[in-house]
Chains A and B, each alone.
Chain A
Amino acid sequence: MILPCPEDVRQYSRFPLTITLVLLNIFIFVLIFNGNSSGITTSSLLQKDGLTLTGRLYYQYLQGVPSEDLLEKPAWVHEMKSANTEQMCVLGAYALRDARFLASAETLPYKGDEVRISEWRQEFSEFRKKYQQQLLYRFGLSSLEKGPLSWVTYQFSHSNWMHLISNLAFLVLIGVAVESLVGSASLLFIYVLGGLAGGLGFLLSDSHGTVPMVGASASVSALLAFYCIAETRARVRFLYFVSPMEGQYGAIYLPTLLIIPLFLVVDLANLWSTPEGLGSGVAYAAHIGGAACGALLALLYKWKGSFTFTLRT
């Protein structure tokens, strides 16, 4: 494990906004999300049989989709065979991410086992209801739920403790460095604008998806990209940990640009290596959107010599 840690985080009074953002994320998580389970994961629709049935119905839905819309679907969807139950199960998982299918699925006419289709309609209706009621859906950003507030609320929402801790660890380490470099107001500007750009990247990559995106990772990516381009000092401090043995942990001074392969290229590689339409649980496109925004702001910052101009405009 290796993390950039250019500043001494113990001097927290120097970084009021970073600490405020961290506390805000923690408070929102504890007060709203922690222990709030929607029970959606236990839905029979998400079990193997349910997904296979959904896949079969989605297969029929695709037969009636206009060819131009069909071309938008990933190539692997076109290779699916309805007689293959394993493939129908995968297609079912994809179907539940297709906003256009979800919008009309309940009322579409289907051919097949009518008893199971009728049961499926009921389960699907309950699933949609629960899905829309879950907090992550209401606070998150997706093509179904993209109200003006969602663009901001998603940046402060997290799905679980691990998600929160990993994002906040990076926010603390890189937030203090950026705040020390450009000040509190500019940090907030980069954080929020990076989050908005991350949301845009996510929606562009998943324009008809239903899975909501939450987390501060797009904003953190923006801060990472901003810092490594704005601060091209020869070397900054990175903390590494291999094992608790002596010499296996400590600090190492490495170029700031090392952040690019360590964190930003990884996102690009992961995005490109994931089959279209099947997310891996991490919104890599949002990370890239945030990073691109952070890089642009850094170039602007370097060009103008300070960030005040950008803030005024």
Chain B
Amino acid sequence: MVFPDLSAPEAQPRKSKNPALAIASMSDRFLAFILDFLIFSPIVSLFIASMVRQTKTFFLLNPTSQEGAIAAGLVAAMIVFFVTLLQAVFLYYWQATPGQFFLQLRVVSFPHPQERLSLNQCLLRAFFWCTGFLCLAVPFLEVASHPFRRAFHERASDTMVMTLKQQGDEGPHPLESRFISSWMRMSFLFLLLFGVLGFFKTYHMLKLGAFREKDGHMLACKEIKDPDLSGVARVDAALSLFLLNEVSAECLEKEAEASLWNDPVNSQDMAYLAKFVISEGEEQQKYFAKVCRDSTSSPCAIARYMQEQGTAEDLIQADASLWTTQLLLSDEKFTQRDYMKSLQMIEALQKVPSLKNALEKRYVRAMWALNESSLQPQGSGRAPASVSLEEKDSWVEKFKERYEVP
């Protein structure tokens, strides 16, 4: 394994003071950059370690945390600060960063030669070097295209990298220089394009509320908007809304979980009932057993009714003040073609703000069925005897008034 040692000292290092004759080669500069990265990155990481840990903790507690975003910004600022400081110190005292030092490169003042770099030159060079990375390192392409291999940060600070090795670089061929320059212009154009697109997309998302504070990971389901609902009433509302197909099974599960894990005393049976409704197979039987630990409880009566062999008798045993019971009873009445009773129950349930809109369809359906039943010829057996024409007319009038039907 015989490799050429790129850092091997020359027998007679170049003494010339004219840097134009000893331009540093690109490969030496690239290798120096790699070495600098390997040396500086652990040191900078060490300085910012506690801040990074804090930032990670913020994101751990909340992945969309504003604190985390601000802390990440501060970490980036600290990285720029420490890299600038380290580079400036090395340039000021040794005229080279550690990587450049090992590869026999030196940073000199150019085109106004000085004995050593001034502090301003060192700071400017280091700072603009860092900002080059903000443009995705495109400005560094100038190292390949500039006749003296001077990138923006070097021209801005009146500096140049030279080599102490015998063989200096001759600079790029004019064709190569033109090619890289046009490539760089294209890169800037693409950067601009992506920047503008990114700007408008971000602005659009901002207007749509994509960056609004979210608490979607909290247990309770956000689809149930009434903030006053709590305990049994909240699970009851969630279960009713689920039966009305207004909320998802996931939402009901969240409510049940919230109830079971945060408030296990007040609404445990209703939460188990909710779990029973959304689960299947063996698990459903386990939840049924939990709901019916007290076989006389209302949730148990509802669960029995919901089972395949359930009858209306089971439902009658349940607490009639529960919205779920009322909803199931109204459905039962509808099935029995007692549309008037069903409508009465729906109307009573619509007094609950969180259920009002969700019951509109049921209301219209029952109203429609009531109207249809009255159009059936007498004695067909479809309309229940209890429906009187006056009552039906009063419901129709109420319906027309409510929906502004002429």
Interface residues of A (CB under 8 A from B): 2, 8, 10, 56, 75-76, 79-80, 82-87, 90, 111-115, 237, 239-240, 242, 247-254, 258, 261-262, 265-266, 268-275, 278
| Nearest A residue to B261, CB-CB | A112
Residues of B near A253 (CB, < 8 A) are 5, 7-8
CA distance A155 to B249 in the complex (A): 51
B230 CB → nearest A CB, Å:
13
Query: Bound state CA distance, A62 and B165, in angstroms?
Result: 66
Q: What residues of A have a CB within 8 angstroms of the CB of B1 in the complex?
A: 8, 10
Is the beta-carbon distance between B261 and A113 smaller than 8 angstroms? yes
B61 touches A265 (CB 8 A): no
Name 27 A/B residue pairs within 8 A (Cβ), A-sorted: A2-B34, A2-B35, A82-B219, A83-B262, A84-B218, A86-B63, A112-B264, A113-B256, A113-B261, A113-B275, A115-B275, A115-B283, A237-B5, A248-B27, A250-B4, A252-B35, A252-B102, A253-B8, A261-B38, A265-B42, A268-B49, A269-B42, A272-B46, A272-B49, A273-B45, A273-B50, A273-B52
Query: Which residue of B4, B7, B46, B283 is within 8 Å of A254 (Cβ)?
Result: B7
Min CB–CB distance A85 → chain B (angstroms): 5
Please pick, from B46, B48, B53, B217, the residue contacting A85 in the complex, using a CB distance under 8 A: B217
Which of B4, B5, B261 is the most central at the interface, judged by chain A CB atoms within 10 Å of its CB? B261
In the complex with contacts A85-B219, A113-B275, A242-B31, A261-B42 CB distance below 8 A: yes
Asked if B258 CB lies within 8 Å of chain A CBs, one says: yes
Query: Are B60 and A76 neighbours in the complex by a CB distance under 8 Å?
Result: yes
Contacts A82-B262, A254-B35, A273-B53 known; 11 new A-B pairs at CB < 8 A: A75-B57, A84-B218, A113-B257, A113-B275, A115-B286, A250-B6, A252-B5, A261-B38, A265-B45, A265-B46, A273-B49
Q: Which of A2, A76, A239, A270 contacts B38 (CB 8 A)?
A: A2
Q: Which residue numbers of B lie inside 8 Å of A, CB to CB?
A: 1, 3-8, 27, 30-31, 34-35, 38-39, 42-43, 45-46, 48-50, 52-53, 56-57, 60-63, 102-103, 217-220, 256-258, 260-262, 264, 271-272, 275, 283, 286-287, 290
Roughly how many angstroms separate A79 CA and B54 CA in the complex, as a whole number? 13
Contact between B61 and A87, CB atoms less than 8 A apart: yes
Q: What secondary structure prevails in chain B residues at the interface with A?
A: helix
How many A-B residue pairs lie within 8 Å, measured between CB atoms? Answer: 124
Q: How far is the CA of A144 from the CA of B30 in the complex (A)?
A: 49
Interface secondary structure of A, over-half rule = mixed
List chain A residues, Cβ under 8 A from B52. 273
Please tell me which one of the listed residues B5, B34, B35, B256 contacts residue A251 in the complex, with CB atoms under 8 A apart. B5
A250 close to B39 (CB less than 8 A): no
Residue of B nearest to A79 (CB): B61
Bound CA–CA A274/B54 (angstroms): 9
Asked if A251 meets B3 with Cβ closer than 8 Å, knowing A79-B61, A83-B220, the reply is yes
In the bound complex, how far is the Cα of B286 from the Cα of A275, in angstroms?
A: 40
Contact A262–B219 (Cβ < 8 Å): no
The distance in angstroms between the C-alpha atoms of A268 and B219, with both chains bound, is: 38
B264 near A111: Cβ-Cβ < 8 Å: yes
Q: Which residue of A lies closest to B48 (CB)?
A: A273
Shortest Cβ distance from residue B8 to the other chain A in the assembled complex, whole angstroms: 7
Closest chain-B Cβ to A273's Cβ sits at a distance in Å of: 4
List the A side residues contacting B7 at CB < 8 Å. 252-254
CA–CA, A266 and B283, complex, Å? 50
Q: With both chains docked as a complex, state the minimum distance between the C-beta of A155 and any C-beta of chain B, in angstroms.
A: 25
A-chain residues with CB within 8 Å of residue B50 when the two chains form the complex = 272-273
Q: Known contacts A113-B261, A250-B3, A254-B7; is A84 also within 8 Å of B60 by CB? A: no
B61 touches A83 (CB 8 A): no
Contact partners of A249 in chain B: CB under 8 A: 3
> Residue on B with the closest CB to A237?
B5
Please tell me if the beta carbons of A266 and B42 are within 8 angstroms of each other in the complex. yes
Give Cα A53–Cα B272 distance, bound, in whole angstroms.
16
Which residues from A are CB-within-8-Å of B260?
Answer: 112-113
How far apart are the CA atoms of A2 and B8 in the complex, in Å?
Answer: 17
Residues on A with beta carbons closer than 8 Å to the beta carbon of B6: 247, 250, 252
Residues of B within 8 A of A265 (CB): 42-43, 45-46
Closest to A250 in B: B3
Would A261 and B5 be within 8 Å (CB), given that A84-B219, A115-B287, A275-B57 are in contact?
Answer: no
In the complex, what distance in Å separates the CA atom of A266 from the CA atom of B43? 8
Q: Which residues of B contact A112 (CB under 8 A)?
A: 260-261, 264
